[in-house]
Amino acid sequence: METKEMICILCPLGCKMQVKEKPDKPGELSVRGQQCKLGVDYAYDEYANPTRTVTSTVLIHNARLPRLPVKTSKPIPKELVFPALDEIAGVEIKAPVKIGAVIIKNLLGTDSDIIATRSLE
Ligand code: SF4
């Protein structure tokens, strides 16, 4: 089995881990390099279904700033990050907007919304 290098991103230590599936136990992983148990959980999640939180901005009209910062309400599958950025790039909204407002509902069918991360009058 191939060993994958991963960096745990759950805390600032950023442990560099080596992860591979156990040849005699399919679905079970051998994880090395982590400094706590959270790294093992992260390795399992990342191995089976890697996800990412997406942050970006959208064009906003009638506000004191030209762009509104946004992010996904929860992580989405890693392979959908670039399609998500394309979807976000086409959005234009009008002020005012409150922090937490839903800008795109159910982004690409992921059950994650794009939400405002600040208010703009
Ligand atoms: S394995 Fe634990 S200590 Fe290492 S980066 Fe992840 S959370 Fe932090």
In this prediction, residue 71 has a pLDDT band, given cuts at 50, 70 and 90, of: very high
CA of 43 to the centre of ligand 1 (A): 11
CA of 30 to the centre of ligand 1 (A): 16
Using CB distances shorter than 6 Å, the residues near ligand 1 are: 8, 10-11, 13-15, 34-36, 38-39
Give me the residue label for tokens 């970006």.
56
Predicted pLDDT at 26: 86
Nearest 5°: CA angle at 54, between 49 and 56?
165
What's the rounded Cα separation, in Å, for the pair 54 and 72?
A: 5
- What pTM was computed for the model? 0.80
In this prediction, residue 19 has a pLDDT band, given cuts at 50, 70 and 90, of: very high
83 bridge partner residues: none
CA of 9 to the centre of ligand 1 (A): 7
Q: Return the closest-CA partner of residue 18 out of 49, 48, 39.
A: 39
